[in-house]
Amino acid sequence: MSEPTPLGDHVDLSNGTFHDKVTGKEETTVQTVQVNIAPESSSAADSSGPVPRKNLQLSPVGRDALAAALRDSTQTIPQLSSFLERSEWSRSDLGQLIEVLNGVTECLETECLVRDHLLCLVQGLDLAVDAREFVTTCMPQAATARALRRALLASTNDLPQAAPKGLSEHLETAVLRRPANDTHGRTTLMDLVLRLALEADVDTHDQAFGAWCQNSGYDVGELNSLRHQLTSQDRAERCRLLVHLRGDPDHDWPCEGTAWVFKGGNQEPLAEYPSLRCEPSTDGVAILVDEVLEWAHDLPDVTLLERVHIAVPARTLLCWRAEETDVGVMLGADHEVVVHWGGRLRPSKHLRSLVRHALYRLKRIEQHHQVYGAVDWVSLEESEFMENIKKGTYRGPLGLRCTPIGQEDLFEALLAQFPIMLWPEQTVPEGDEVEQAVEHEWVTLPGGFTGAYRTAWTCAQEQVPPLARLRAVWDDRHWLTFCRTLSKHRAGIASPSGA
């Protein structure tokens, strides 16, 4: 795992820009504004909110960022020199700094710009400590490492190689990486805390949640709008369509299949479409998928269907991009597409012993790869590759550095053993940015692949996200459990008519 990026080293407030030493980009972070910020006591919760904790301090991430900003600002505003030696920052300390900055009223345009930028940073960090206080007091169960990482990536636009640890560092990183139009990070923090709450099934209409929002100055209209957006998305993701396509083992394209719709985390399908036929071609498969989508959307319990799982034979995986299937628009334009290896449902006899190992590997991945993905990147040409496979050397997800075209039998044997497997369309050298993207965006996967593909469809070639250069099979626990269950019985599954 990468060490946390010292974000404070990238903050330059002397000329109104944010300079990222990792990417080399300069971005305007906020507009010049006059900021009036209340002292700590104004954000203390009332009797219905959390009890304030006076000893909460900034984490190293916040301290480093503030120290860098103060060093850059002191030459312009000498009154700040007394704060340079502080090694710890409580909310009371932040309030003192705010008071000094608000006292700088007679100043030149450059001084006002520096003052306003620093005020925005300080208020943002104060809000981060306030949010930490609320989460720690009222919803501590929501602050898991995986949930924090996922919420941070979703609520910020730019997060190059940053690897914060713990609740404090995630909240402060959100402020430091806030979008340019979010002056103090207030919207970004609200987004992050809401995502944590919804993932942990915390009632965001609870009195304590409302009191915190009111006392901390969050706009109730913006809160309600964001809550509606996130809960609508969550409801849509609770319905998922699974399409299993199969065909002649010696042909690239399937000719028949079955489809199921699931709701929530249920392993028992809501409905089944048992008999699908198509021409074994790109167009034939597209017509079949479009027919299944129409059937699924007509089901009474389905409103939006944003997630589509497609399981196909190994040979089809190497010649078909499921998310680009033409269903009026590309399938991935409206749906998050997750691809599975279809042979797991009905494995060939010579693969059955290998299939058993997939569940053990998935269990290890779930235990040790919750936040950052440590993929075993390999080349099929390595002399010890097959020996390492037999020894179980590769314990995590498997990443191939080249496309396994012409090695279909080996590819299928690897799919049988590794529930999560990645491969590029063009050879990827060791240490490539693709590997780094998988590690740092792991919590967004597999859905993050669809997002990367969408971006690649519309952006310039040099702006294509690294993840868009990869193909992936993601046989998660839902798919493995369903395959095992279906092999034992097929009773109690509804027909297309719902009977």
Which amino acid, one-letter code, is at 444? Answer: T
Please give the Cα distance from 126 to 264 (Å, whole number). Answer: 38
Q: Within 13 Å and on the Cβ side, how many CA atoms surround 215?
A: 24
- The pLDDT assigned to 383 comes to 82
Please give the Cα distance from 485 to 298 (Å, whole number). Answer: 26
Cβ neighbours of 368 (radius 10 Å): 12
DSSP code at position 7: G
Is residue 97 predicted with pLDDT exceeding 90? yes
Q: Where are the beta strands (DSSP E) in 367-455?
A: 376-378, 398-400, 420-424
- The pLDDT assigned to 303 comes to 75
Phi, psi of 260 (to 5 degrees): -135, 150
Among 59-73, 246-260, 484-498, the least confident range: 484-498
Task: Tokens for 269, please give them.
Answer: 């399908």
- pTM of the full structure: 0.77
Is residue 319 predicted with pLDDT exceeding 90? yes
Please give the Cα distance from 61 to 121 (Å, whole number). Answer: 13
Please give the Cα distance from 156 to 81 (Å, whole number). Answer: 32
- The pLDDT assigned to 290 comes to 96
Please give the Cα distance from 185 to 55 (Å, whole number). Answer: 22
> 70-86: per-residue pLDDT in tens?
999 998 888 899 999 89
Which amino acid, one-letter code, is at 45? Answer: A
Is residue 407 predicted with pLDDT exceeding 70? yes
- The pLDDT assigned to 129 comes to 96
Task: Tokens for 65, please give them.
Answer: 């960022």
- The pLDDT assigned to 382 comes to 84
- The pLDDT assigned to 159 comes to 64
Is residue 106 predicted with pLDDT exceeding 80? no
- The pLDDT assigned to 275 comes to 86
Please give the Cα distance from 10 to 209 (Å, whole number). Answer: 33
Among 106-110, 147-151, 223-227, the least confident range: 106-110
Q: Write the DSSP assignment of 466-484 as a string of letters.
A: GGGGEEEEE--HHHHHHHH
Task: Tokens for 4, please give them.
Answer: 């946390």
More confident residue, 136 or 349: 136
Please give the Cα distance from 38 to 42 (Å, whole number). Answer: 6
- The pLDDT assigned to 53 comes to 55
> Mean of the pLDDT values across residues 293-314?
90
More confident residue, 494 or 121: 121
Please say whether the beta carbons of 303 and 266 come within 8 A: no
Cβ neighbours of 387 (radius 10 Å): 10
User: Which residues are bridge partners to 18 per DSSP?
Assistant: 27
Is residue 16 predicted with pLDDT exceeding 70? no
